[in-house]
Amino acid sequence: MSKKKILTVPDPILRQISNPISEVNSEIKNLMDDMLETMYEAPGIGLAAVQIGILKRVIVVDVSKDAKKKEPLFIANPEILSQSKDLISYEEGCLSIPNQFAEVQRPSMCKIKYLNYNGETKELNAEGLLATCIQHEIDHLNGVLFIDYLSKLKKDLMLKKAKKQKKEIDRVVV
């Protein structure tokens, strides 16, 4: 396992559409392991492969609250089978848009079909935080970021702040 660099806005890769995988082979398992380590170290509760520059439909999620009891979910080729009509809002952030947060409304429940770490087809009924997290990550696979749900004014402001911050991080004074 190794930690990877997380891409941040305005990297154009984040806007590309990720490709389905053909099977969960050792290469995909390695990718899933690297993504989980990168996500835990960030720290975050979800990460899509595109965020480390790999355009494959793979995400990892762990919304468990207890740091000692990790409950990672490895999700490849997710398909949304249904979404509830009722919405829930959370203040969302994204490892690719550092230190920017905004309230986003999404369906409070979603049912997905996916391939797990062992390549088995699974179905999952997610609700609350898990549903929000999964929908946020599936958006990444389609080149969509949470700021796309905000007004243009708010979105532009957050992009500007994130870019400015990026510049400051890159700046070296010796």
Answer for the pair 37, 47: CB distance below 8 angstroms, yes or no. no
Least distance to Zn ion, CB of residue 148, Å: 11
Least distance to Zn ion, CB of residue 92, Å: 8
Smaller CB separation from Zn ion, 61 or 94: 94
Please give the radius of gyration of the chain, using alpha carbons only, rounded to the nearest integer: 16
The burial class, CB within 10 Å (0-12 / 13-18 / 19+), for 52 is buried
Q: Which H or E run contains 87? A: strand 87-94
CA atoms within 13 A on the CB side of 161: 12
Active site residue 127: no
Smaller CB separation from Zn ion, 94 or 104: 94
Q: Which of 95, 83, 90 is nearest to 140 (CA)?
A: 95
Per rule CB under 5 A, count of chain residues that contact Zn ion:
1
Answer for the pair 129, 92: CB distance below 8 angstroms, yes or no. no
Smaller CB separation from Zn ion, 25 or 165: 165
Least distance to Zn ion, CB of residue 102, Å: 12
Smaller CB separation from Zn ion, 12 or 85: 12
| Window contacting Zn ion (CB under 5 A); options: 90-98, 107-115, 123-131, 147-155 | 90-98
Answer for the pair 60, 42: CB distance below 8 angstroms, yes or no. no
94 binds Zn ion (CB under 5 A): yes
Beta 109-115 vs 46-48: how paired, if at all? Answer: unpaired
Least distance to Zn ion, CB of residue 28, Å: 20
Residue in 27, 92, 127, 137 annotated catalytic:
137
Q: Contact positions toward Zn ion, by CB under 5 A? A: 94
Catalytic residues: 137
